Chain A
Amino acid sequence: MRNKIAIQVDDLTVAYNYKPVLWDIDLVVPEAVLMAIVGPNGAGKSTLIKAILGIIDPIAGSVSIYGKPYDKQRQLVAYVPQKGSVDWDFPTTALDVVMMGTYGSLGWIKRPGKKEKKASLEALEKVGMLAFKNRQISQLSGGQQQRVFLARALVQNASIYFMDEPFQGVDATTEIAIINILKELRKAGKTVVVVHHDLQTVPEYFDWVTFLNVKKIATGPVKEIFNDDNLTKTYGINYKVAVNK
């Protein structure tokens, strides 16, 4: 094993109304990898992230972060939900949304102060959105909204980042900007888990991959396991992606 284990998932099973969505998932993610979760629609990719983060209650299974139960390690974990999961007409500004990333470390009742504002402005700058800090969030484009969400996670200063389809509906410039930030995070020793749809870009963006279709098909380094065999097993059709070199 090259690195410490960042995330360990044991026997995770999730069902919606008797229908299993995730079946007995075991998953070990080493520290400092950029991992894609790939699989067809309905494979349970988002559900996996949500179950790990405790947003959805699993029927069985446990999650540990750096060797301790997730409940005790929340401060180490940041989450970027799907852009479409919130109402962007909510009366607030970009900076205000990013500041929400500091609420977790503040805890109950305490309000964000100068320190939190400074950190939030830095996060906005990192994603190239400083000029839009006072924009009403409904006036942002899809790509800008995604950047704001990313900044909100960055300001949490976590060790592990979970992102649900951060490239959905964003233009090429934003996609490149986001992936560069993710690669920087990996370089800084952070672990990043991304629900990803575009198979073509997997080898270019990620160094680790998990194939998921209700059950876990395979997980490991992209170089070793991102092949037609696993793709076929996951998507159920003969897959030919010109990535096997």
Chain B
Amino acid sequence: MTITEYFNLLFTDYTLRTITLGTAVLGAICGMLGSFAVLRKQSLLGDAISHAALPGIAVAFLITGAKDTNTLLLGALVSGLIGTLWIRGMTKKTHLKSDTALGLVLSLFFGFGMLLLTYIQKQPNANQAGLDKYLFGQAATLVESDVLLMLIVTGLALAVMLLFWKEFKILLFDADYTKTLGFNTKFIDITITFFIVLAIVLGLQTVGVVLMSAMLLAPAAAARQWTNKLSVMVFLAAVFGAFSGVFGTAISASQNNLSTGPVIVLVASVFVLFSFIFSPGRGLLFRQLRFRRNRRDLELKKTLQFMFGIAETHADISHPHAIKILNNFQGFAKTSLRELEEKEWITLNKQEWALTEKGFVAAKTMFETKEDNE
């Protein structure tokens, strides 16, 4: 199947449509909530939570003996929340820094989860096969009810975010100050964290424990590059996330069923890479271009200032001088002279240059600071 075939099939094939819608919704909610995680400098929290969810899946299976997705995800939610509480508790009550607490909870829970998975696999129960799909996810297993659940949670998260937008924003920027205004910062914090955990748990079936954090971080990191406004960033992150989901599914479906989760994450990473290089404000390319332009500009100004210094000592500012006298000055280059002439700051005549009236004024006012006219 080629990508075009895929997009044609999208409108006729039920399964494909379900999976695509699921990954798109998942990408959107992860991008949206991931923005908050990134701005709170809690990027690694998502990684720890998703790994912490694994034992929950295993325990839920051991208790119920069934592979019902919702039951397993409920288990994941419980153990994800326990992991989150442990991280919070450790950073609050001990000397440990948050990265240490994150690392400890991540490896402890993941280790325990893997232990349970191998134990389950040794059981003489025909039902046990396929639990390990939660490690890397399997989008193909998405059914309509899963997508419906995602839609409900996304709607809920969106509603809560719009309702408490102001509270979320101020907490992200300045938590201490928020407290002095009389807001219950613990409540806001727990609400944000709860929804992040919820989004992660929803994504486990599709993307899996190991790569889930990338779904949170990549769209948000990419979106940050394009805007200086929080609302736009959250919106863009949701869009990038949704597109990653759709393109990831399309590529994986059209290329011999490549594993969907990793492909989605790779597509999201392409968004990040592209944004880091090509975004106009913060991107590397434009920063480099601005740097070069500034440097050339500075060379020009240096040359002009040197000429100004000479011209100032003469009654006639446009008295011609030999180009040679610029030789003992580093800023001098043929291109700078040409550019100065183009700007009509100097006139060139064979081996001589002369400052124009315009150039004289430009040199004189060069260091006067400009008012901010925004």
Query: A77: nearest residue on chain B (CB-CB)?
Result: B180
Inter-chain contact A91/B229, CB cutoff 8 Å: yes
A92 in complex: contacting residue of B178, B180, B229, CB < 8 Å = B229
Identify the 5 closest CB pairs spanning chains A and B, nearest first.
Answer: A104-B181, A136-B228, A74-B182, A79-B180, A55-B176
Name the residue of chain B whose CB is nearest to the CB of A162: B180
Interface residue ranges, A against B (CB under 8 Å): 17, 50, 53-55, 74-75, 77-79, 81, 85-87, 90-93, 97, 100, 103-104, 106, 108-112, 131-136, 138, 152
Of the listed residues B170, B228, B373, B374, the one surrounded by the most CB atoms of chain A closer than 10 A to its CB is: B228
B41 in contact with A135 (CB, 8 Å): no
**B166 contacts A132, CB within 8 Å?**
no
Using CB atoms, name the residue of chain B closest to A79: B180
In the complex, which residues of chain B have a beta carbon less than 8 angstroms from the beta carbon of A112?
166
Would you call A104 and B95 a contact (CB within 8 A)? no
Given contacts A103-B183, A131-B373, A152-B177, 14 further A-B contacts (CB under 8 A): A50-B176, A55-B176, A79-B177, A81-B174, A92-B228, A92-B230, A100-B173, A103-B166, A104-B182, A104-B183, A108-B164, A109-B166, A135-B372, A138-B228
Q: Which residue of A lies closest to B167 (CB)?
A: A108
* Contact A91-B233, Cβ < 8 Å, known A74-B182, A131-B371: yes
Contacts of A86 in B (CB 8 A): 173-174
**B176: chain A residues within 8 A (beta carbon):** 50, 55, 79, 81, 85
Chain A CB within 8 A of B153 CB? no
Residue of B whose beta carbon sits closest to that of A138:
B228
Bound-state Cα–Cα, A100 to B230, Å: 14
- Distance from B223 Cβ to chain A, minimum over Cβ atoms (Å): 9
Known: A85-B174, A86-B173, A92-B228. A103 touches B233 (CB 8 A): no
CA distance A135 to B228 in the complex (A): 10
A144 shortest CB reach to chain B, Å: 10
| A135 partner residues in chain B, CB cutoff 8 A | 372, 374
Cα distance A138–B282 when bound, in Å? Answer: 12
Instruction: Check: B227 CB closer than 8 A to any chain A CB.
Output: yes
Size range of the chain B interface in the assembly: 20 to 34
- A56 to chain B minimum Cβ distance, whole angstroms, is 9
Residues in A neighbouring B167, C-beta threshold 8 A: 103, 108-109
Task: List, in ascending order, chain A residues with CB within 8 A of B51's CB.
Answer: none
Q: How far is the CA of A42 from the CA of B169 in the complex (A)?
A: 32
* Set of chain A residues within 8 Å of B224, measured between Cβ atoms: 91
Query: Which listed residue, B163, B170, B179, touches A55 by the CB 8 Å rule?
Result: B179
- The answer on a CB contact under 8 Å between B230 and A103 is no
A135 to B169, CA, bound (A): 18
Which of B41, B163, B164, B166 has the largest number of chain A CB atoms within 10 A? B166
Q: Mark B222-236, 1 if CB is under 8 A from A, else 0.
A: 001001111011000
Q: Give A88's nearest chain B residue, CB to CB.
A: B173
Contact of B374 among A50, A85, A131 (CB under 8 A): A131
Contact for B170 among A100, A110, A132, CB less than 8 A: A100
Contact indicator B166/A74 (Cβ below 8 Å): no
Q: Is the CB of A91 within 8 A of B371?
A: no
